[in-house]
A and B are shown apart, each in its own frame.
Chain A
Amino acid sequence: MNNVEQTLLADSHIDDAILSKTLNSMMGRQVNFADLYFQSSQHESWMLEDGIVKEGSYNMERGVGVRAISGEKTGFAYSDDISPLALQQAADAAKGIADSGNGTQVQAFKRQSPIKIYQTVEPLGSLTQEQKIDLLHQVETHARQVDSRVSQVIVSLSGVHEKILVAASDGSYGTDIRPLVRLNCSVLVEENGKRERASAGGGARTDYSYFFESECNATGQEKARYLTYAEEAVRQALVNLVAVDAPAGTFPIVLGAGWPGVLLHEAVGHGLEGDFNRKGSSAFSGKIGQQVASTLCTIVDDGTMENRRGSVNIDDEGTPGQYNVLIEKGILKGYMQDKHNAELMGVKPTGNGRRESYAHLPMPRMTNTYMLAGESSPEDIIKSVKKGIYAPNFAGGQVDITSGKFVFTSSEAYLIENGEITTPIKGATLIGSGPEAMKKVSMVGNDLKLDAGVGVCGKDGQSVPVGVGQPTLKIDEMTIGGTQ
């Protein structure tokens, strides 16, 4: 028995026999699939502002979700009490969707041990409380040292330690321990009565030691991550302090490498989730095998990247994380699937069945979504633009998967004039249509980069951590919502 089984089952007097019996009790009806999802998580966060540690909090969650599927119908119930009685009550409620009859047999559990994409570390205890406080202060001190125009610094640190166990009627049985850490620095800079705020940070599925490892900062120096976050926040805020109003209209757009991959998440990613395509409600429905992007675009969703924020050893249905090619050289190859939608569409699940917690139903969700590197140098891409926009940083985005319209909002952007990056411009929203924008990708850089580990994706009220990435790329035409 592993540690997760001990915490989630044995401590609550639940064993394999009870799991099988519960699943069996649901399958006695016209239910073709049922699963049990046990979860226990601890989350902490610390916040420094005005030079003092103002807030600290610790949150606990523990419960079980029970699902029964009969064709397209799903019954779902959950309990914050993990006990044989609560489990049976939830199962009785969930199976109510199906008429009585003969269901499928429950398969024997197949315990699987997939390759570990992240290690079973415990983030919350990886630093002492004193060390956590000290880290917050060091980030603040560094941000203030970088530039005297920094008038305020807010630093936050958070860690999650989550254990999950899935047991399903198809024999799936898996456990996972999911660490997740995040550090963020937000600054306010002030000059001549003008103020701008910016923030930067990062995170990963590991422990707090991640922030002390070194990486290259904006000027190519090797520095500990927590220092580069402070520098990056100050740099972005100072750029915006001198930014002029953005133009309004349609221009060629060059998107920087890394976090601007939020473009792919919105313009393509959501539209390729299995549920929307099973229902035919996505702008990409029924287009497998068709050209949906320029031939320069190969886009993948990859749950197997080491220690990445969006990675999963197993997804929340017990399917191991996978490397899935969504679009290859512009041709649509496949959708992201959970078990329910895969079954209804006659394909295999792809390791994208994710849920916010035991109290939420799993859905097809992205993991780490990115575009593979192309051949152009980022310099050549900029040089190719006579008049346009260069946008290396974004605040976030949104999509209407049915019409395909998507937006994302720049947090750092510049004009490109005669092949050179010139004046910084204020944050503005860019809007396009997913399938059209991807066909207008005319150059793809050789500098693929993933984001720093900050992405949160919301769908139907459920939030899950995700990653995005891309090389520098050029879209021949997008609408930018400035004021000039």
Chain B
Amino acid sequence: MSEAKKFSDPLIEQLDQVKARVAQVLELAKSLGADGAEVAMSRQQGLSVGTRLGEVENVEFTNDGALGITVYQQGRKGSASTADLSEKALVQAVEAAVNIAKYTSVDDCSGLADKALLAMQPINLDLYHPKELSTEQAIDIAKECEQSALDSDSRITNSDGASLDCFSGFKVYGNSNGQLVGYPSSRHSLSCMVIAGSDDEMQRDYAYDVNRDFTLLNSGISIGKKAAREAISRLNPQKIATQKVPVLFRADIANTLWGHFIAAISGGNLYRKSSFLLDAIGKEVFPDFLTIQERPHIKKALASSAFDSEGVLTQDRDIIIDGVLQTYLLTSYSARKLGLTSTAHAGGIHNWLVKDENSHAKGDVNADFDTMLKTLGTGLLVTELMGQGVNVVNGDYSRGAAGFWVENGELAYPVSEITIAGNLTQMFKGIIAVGSDIDKHGSIRTGSILIDEMQVAGH
């Protein structure tokens, strides 16, 4: 993007106005008696188009804004938010927050993040790549994507459509410790969902890509073909017998396991003693070949951020070294409850890289999907999970699943209407290998994960 264009970008001009607005709101909170305050304000605009069976289905123009304020008054906290950004509404929100702080209790652990931890001059992470598209251009992209799915195989009989979403916006955060920061960002995604089969045997599946930079999105044709391939591969599934087997979580599903791990080491669950990983720092939670690194400053990445939602500076962190837990994920509040320091995790994690040091050490960078299937040998490949059957308090795990039966390293037939169950403590220790087939769609970059044994329930 040229400098000239940057200066004429109305969104960037708005960002500066909103910074001034946030400063005013902080002043107002102070004048109403707050001894501390923090304000977050965001604005997002975009275009979403959907096509189905070659025709336009939806054209939506997005335009959202919101302001959230938290005030502190002698250890008491009050919050308010508004999606109406008129002057009147902003004043009302500040007054409501101050009023609430009259009734909440004094809490020694509440308050703004420690001043020394704040990101006063955040670095630019190159997250803003707006794309100017006319409605017609957007429709053509979605149509092309869906058409490639419909054309790719006669067993594709119906479609839930394709959609293209392009959003850009900004976030501004300020607090009464003198921090006032903001940055613009963009996010573009293209997805397609189609149906294979007919009547009593229909299967649907989807494919998508998402990127901060529109030009880096996978082509609509490749996304459409992938959606068609996935839907067809699921046709005529069988239910397998109840048994204990090794289970391979495909890379795009594997991140759910890391999601449960994140919940278990999050400060909120730890100080509430609601985690199966209490007092686990310094302990071996995973096999010794497993390493997890957090890298918040990867340029253009989806989960990159220079500061967390409390303004705390993010930094590179080791989460797991040789299978051993190095840190919890803490906000200012949960850190104070545990007598620790914030780790800049208010609002979530920032780009995790999961590595299997075994394959690295051996110079074996080819633990690709096929190799993982061979390592699995005979067992279950899971490609879809359903339901919320995970208990973070004790680690019990029981979820609906679909996937493929694998025999001697080869896909044998699709499987559905089964459950897989175990306990996360044992599942984590029972990881045999992590693939190099890294899924880069989300905030966790992981390959497929092979677990030694889980209980399958079927017929």
A residues 362-409 near B (Cβ < 8 Å) are 395-398, 400, 402-403, 405-409
Q: Are B55 and A407 in contact (CB under 8 A)?
A: no
Between B96, B103, B400, B421, the greatest number of chain A beta carbons within 10 A of the residue's beta carbon is seen for B400
Interchain CB contact (< 8 A) of B61 among A76, A188, A250, A409: A76
Q: Are B77 and A409 in contact (CB under 8 A)?
A: no
- A-chain residues with CB within 8 Å of residue B393 when the two chains form the complex: 188, 195-197
- A-chain residues with CB within 8 Å of residue B78 when the two chains form the complex: 56-57
- B-chain residues with CB within 8 Å of residue A281 when the two chains form the complex: 158, 160, 195, 202, 204
- B-chain residues with CB within 8 Å of residue A97 when the two chains form the complex: 56, 59, 135
Q: Which residue of B is nearest A83, CB measured?
A: B86
Q: Are B274 and A197 in contact (CB under 8 A)?
A: yes
Q: Are A61 and B273 in contact (CB under 8 A)?
A: no
Q: Are B80 and A59 in contact (CB under 8 A)?
A: yes
Between B96, B102, B420, the greatest number of chain A beta carbons within 10 A of the residue's beta carbon is seen for B96
A residues 395-439 near B (Cβ < 8 Å) are 395-398, 400, 402-403, 405-409, 426-433
Q: Which residue of B is nearest A428, CB measured?
A: B398
Number of A-B contacts (CB under 8 A): 246
Q: Are A481 and B89 in contact (CB under 8 A)?
A: no
- B-chain residues with CB within 8 Å of residue A129 when the two chains form the complex: 99-100, 102-103
Q: Are B104 and A482 in contact (CB under 8 A)?
A: no
A residues 69-105 near B (Cβ < 8 Å) are 72-81, 90, 93-94, 96-97
Stretch with Cβ within 8 A of B (4 or more), from A29-37, A47-55, A110-118, A219-227: A47-55
> Chain A's nearest CB lies how many Å from the CB of B81?
5
> Chain B's nearest CB lies how many Å from the CB of A167?
20
Q: Are A405 and B389 in contact (CB under 8 A)?
A: no
Stretch with Cβ within 8 A of A (4 or more), from B3-11, B121-129, B451-459: B451-459
**A409-B202 in contact given A53-B105, A151-B273 (Cβ < 8 Å):** no
Interchain CB contact (< 8 A) of A58 among B59, B100, B416: B100
> Chain A's nearest CB lies how many Å from the CB of B174?
19
| C-alpha gap A484/B396 in the complex (Å) | 13
Q: Are B96 and A58 in contact (CB under 8 A)?
A: yes
> Chain A's nearest CB lies how many Å from the CB of B337?
9
> Chain A's nearest CB lies how many Å from the CB of B55?
6
> Chain B's nearest CB lies how many Å from the CB of A473?
20
Asked if A325 CB lies within 8 Å of chain B CBs, one says: no
Q: Are B389 and A130 in contact (CB under 8 A)?
A: no
Q: Are A283 and B202 in contact (CB under 8 A)?
A: yes
| C-alpha gap A283/B60 in the complex (Å) | 28
Asked if B152 CB lies within 8 Å of chain A CBs, one says: no
Q: Which residue of B is nearest A357, CB measured?
A: B83
Asked if A152 CB lies within 8 Å of chain B CBs, one says: yes
Q: Which residue of B is nearest A286, CB measured?
A: B199
- B-chain residues with CB within 8 Å of residue A154 when the two chains form the complex: 272
Q: Are B242 and A249 in contact (CB under 8 A)?
A: yes
> Chain A's nearest CB lies how many Å from the CB of B317?
28
Asked if B222 CB lies within 8 Å of chain A CBs, one says: no
> Chain B's nearest CB lies how many Å from the CB of A403?
6
**A60-B65 in contact given A129-B103, A248-B242, A396-B388 (Cβ < 8 Å):** no
**Contact code string B417-428 (vs A, CB < 8 Å = 1, else 0):** 111111100000
Asked if B107 CB lies within 8 Å of chain A CBs, one says: yes
Q: Are B419 and A479 in contact (CB under 8 A)?
A: yes
Asked if B387 CB lies within 8 Å of chain A CBs, one says: yes
A residues 176-231 near B (Cβ < 8 Å) are 188, 190, 194-197
| C-alpha gap A97/B99 in the complex (Å) | 46
Q: Are A429 and B82 in contact (CB under 8 A)?
A: no
| C-alpha gap A444/B65 in the complex (Å) | 49
> Chain B's nearest CB lies how many Å from the CB of A211?
18
Q: Are B420 and A61 in contact (CB under 8 A)?
A: no
Q: Which residue of B is nearest A435, CB measured?
A: B200
**A80-B104 in contact given A400-B386, A403-B202, A481-B398 (Cβ < 8 Å):** no
Q: Which residue of A is nearest B423, CB measured?
A: A483
| C-alpha gap A246/B106 in the complex (Å) | 43
Q: Are B389 and A76 in contact (CB under 8 A)?
A: no
- B-chain residues with CB within 8 Å of residue A56 when the two chains form the complex: 77-79, 100-101, 103-104
B residues 70-90 near A (Cβ < 8 Å) are 77-86, 89
Asked if A62 CB lies within 8 Å of chain B CBs, one says: yes
Asked if A239 CB lies within 8 Å of chain B CBs, one says: no
Asked if A480 CB lies within 8 Å of chain B CBs, one says: yes
| C-alpha gap A400/B200 in the complex (Å) | 14
- A-chain residues with CB within 8 Å of residue B158 when the two chains form the complex: 279-281
Asked if B52 CB lies within 8 Å of chain A CBs, one says: yes
> Chain B's nearest CB lies how many Å from the CB of A122?
15
Between B81, B82, B86, B419, the greatest number of chain A beta carbons within 10 A of the residue's beta carbon is seen for B419
Q: Are B457 and A361 in contact (CB under 8 A)?
A: no
Q: Are A397 and B58 in contact (CB under 8 A)?
A: no
Interchain CB contact (< 8 A) of A195 among B63, B77, B273: B273
Q: Are B60 and A53 in contact (CB under 8 A)?
A: no
| C-alpha gap A81/B455 in the complex (Å) | 54
Q: Are B60 and A431 in contact (CB under 8 A)?
A: no
Asked if B203 CB lies within 8 Å of chain A CBs, one says: yes
**A427-B389 in contact given A248-B421, A481-B457 (Cβ < 8 Å):** yes
> Chain A's nearest CB lies how many Å from the CB of B210?
14
**Contact code string B92-133 (vs A, CB < 8 Å = 1, else 0):** 110011011111111100100000000000000000000000
Asked if B364 CB lies within 8 Å of chain A CBs, one says: no
> Chain B's nearest CB lies how many Å from the CB of A357?
8
Asked if B394 CB lies within 8 Å of chain A CBs, one says: yes
Asked if A296 CB lies within 8 Å of chain B CBs, one says: no
Asked if A455 CB lies within 8 Å of chain B CBs, one says: no
- B-chain residues with CB within 8 Å of residue A361 when the two chains form the complex: 58, 60
- A-chain residues with CB within 8 Å of residue B21 when the two chains form the complex: none
Q: Are A57 and B81 in contact (CB under 8 A)?
A: yes
Asked if A14 CB lies within 8 Å of chain B CBs, one says: no
- B-chain residues with CB within 8 Å of residue A132 when the two chains form the complex: 103
**Contact code string B230-268 (vs A, CB < 8 Å = 1, else 0):** 000010000100100000000000000000000000000
- B-chain residues with CB within 8 Å of residue A429 when the two chains form the complex: 386-387, 389, 398-400, 419, 421
Subset of 6 A-B contacts with CB under 8 Å: A78-B61, A90-B61, A427-B391, A431-B417, A479-B417, A483-B398
Identify the B interface with A (CB < 8 A). 52, 55-65, 77-86, 89, 92-93, 96-97, 99-107, 110, 135, 158, 160, 195, 200, 202-204, 234, 239, 242, 272-274, 386-389, 391, 393-394, 396, 398-400, 402, 416-423, 455-459
Known: A56-B100, A197-B274, A359-B83. 9 other contacts (CB 8 A): A55-B104, A58-B81, A130-B103, A188-B272, A283-B202, A397-B387, A409-B389, A432-B417, A484-B455
Query: Would you list the 8 A-B pairs with minimal beta carbon distance, nearest first?
Result: A481-B419, A52-B105, A407-B400, A407-B387, A56-B100, A248-B457, A429-B389, A57-B79
